[in-house]
Structure 1
């Protein structure tokens, strides 16, 4: 299962021809800044016209205004983001640091599924993950998690998805050194099974696990940043029967949420990224 991909060479969303130019100007401005942000090498007027589906005359007029304001620069016929655009980006990033900037998307996920939802990041040692944001379900029968709590990687969905998309050397070190203790009847206790599970998760883009709390199941997807580095995992968890009954819908919700969260952090590649094989991790 895959989430929608963002292709930087795709045309901009179609714009109603009947809409007054004044109402479309703000959207066109953001489209111009957005396409330039994805092409650090710069773009010519012709290239931008093709990418955005805008007439050259209208685009040139807009670029001229943005250039005068310092939001766009032009050198040797190529347009790039200007100093004011970077200044604005810095202000925005300082006002909404990770993970606060992802909270609205986490709230949307919670509203859509009604389960306990969370964001987790790997501990520095890569032996556990840490909950950094949690919204619990309203039901009295729910999965409970606290911000700051630590959980093992091999028996939880956030931990498994973090491992699946972690750098290769971290995966190999973890698989060779982790002590696989059985917590529930479905906990992974074999290194070969763990390696195969991580490979499957990397291909699917999502982890499903009921190996840490009996009767509860979790699902998680990875979050990436502007440098295409793994930043964390967004997940949902609840009573196993309900989670598994809604697995297809929850999978779609999670992948869409994780993709949007990654986009907020500046990720502009295909989501989820292409997997790496885990075959060499176990001899």
Structure 2
């Protein structure tokens, strides 16, 4: 790592412009020590002045990017969330974002790209573009959502390996989110079979008053890697049902093609 040797006056003058680099050096150092590091250890590894280091650690802790307990400092949940988003998003060639933007323009509603977590027990939103309407469906990049009640999750679950699906059903409580949530395994399995047969889902089982539409995204090997969806107020969706569904399915097909899927 580069070293910094500045006097206090110079350090104060340079602090605003050097802060981003210093933050990344702290994150890098902590990423190499799961148990955490003391201020002295961090100072040695980053070659940062203790006064600056202490101030930056305090700010990072306030945002949950770092957890400071006693004399030890380690990475916090927000840093891991960002890492998860980067990891998940990096699975795509990067050029599916324009397709998501096209979908949002075509729908005028919130659109999202969801991927399964490593254990296939929930989903994470890898990308979200929200509607500009004051009445809209809201979602955050990096947010974890259940599979059984969301449109994105149901598509993922429908195309999940049978063993993974059985494990999910065995270990998941189907708690109702709305009056439309499938709360028995038999009902959910029937819906998943329909999704696989139709190639899409229209769901109202996640948020009261909202409807979601989702379709699968496949890679070159024909394996599901994501689901693309739009969601918004049910009343608006009913008026545009055919158009919205066609737009989502078209977007999913384009994304799959971009990832090398040839439809066979």
**Do Structure 1 and Structure 2 share a fold, with TM-score over 0.5?**
yes
5 Å-filtered alignment, 1:4-23, equals none
Is 1:199 aligned to 2:193, yes or no?
A: yes
CA distance in structure 2 between the partners assigned to 1:197 and 1:97 by the alignment? 28
The count of aligned residue pairs is 175
Specify the SS of the correspondent of 1:214.
coil
**8 A Cα contact 1:176 1:191, kept in partner:** no
Partner of 1:48: none
Specify the SS of the correspondent of 1:105.
helix
Deviation at 1:172, TM superposition (A): 1.8
Partner of 1:138: 132
Which of 220, 233, 244 matches 1:226? 220
Partner of 1:182: 176
CA distance in structure 2 between the partners assigned to 1:169 and 1:227 by the alignment? 19
CA distance in structure 2 between the partners assigned to 1:217 and 1:111 by the alignment? 18
Which of 93, 100, 103 matches 2:97? 103
CA distance in structure 1 between the partners assigned to 2:123 and 2:143 by the alignment? 8
The C-alpha deviation readout for 1:119-147, integer Å capped at 9, x for no partner, is: 00001121210001000001010000010
**8 A Cα contact 1:118 1:135, kept in partner:** yes
5 Å-filtered alignment, 1:48-197, equals 98=92, 100-197=94-191
**8 A Cα contact 1:99 1:133, kept in partner:** no
**8 A Cα contact 1:183 1:212, kept in partner:** yes
Deviation at 1:245, TM superposition (A): 2.3
Deviation at 1:177, TM superposition (A): 2.3
Which of 217, 242, 255 matches 2:249? 255
CA distance in structure 1 between the partners assigned to 2:91 and 2:171 by the alignment? 34
Structure 1: runs of 5 or more not aligned? 1-95, 271-283
Partner of 1:34: none
RMSD: 1.3
Is 1:210 aligned to 2:204, yes or no?
A: yes
Partner of 1:82: none
Deviation at 1:99, TM superposition (A): 5.9
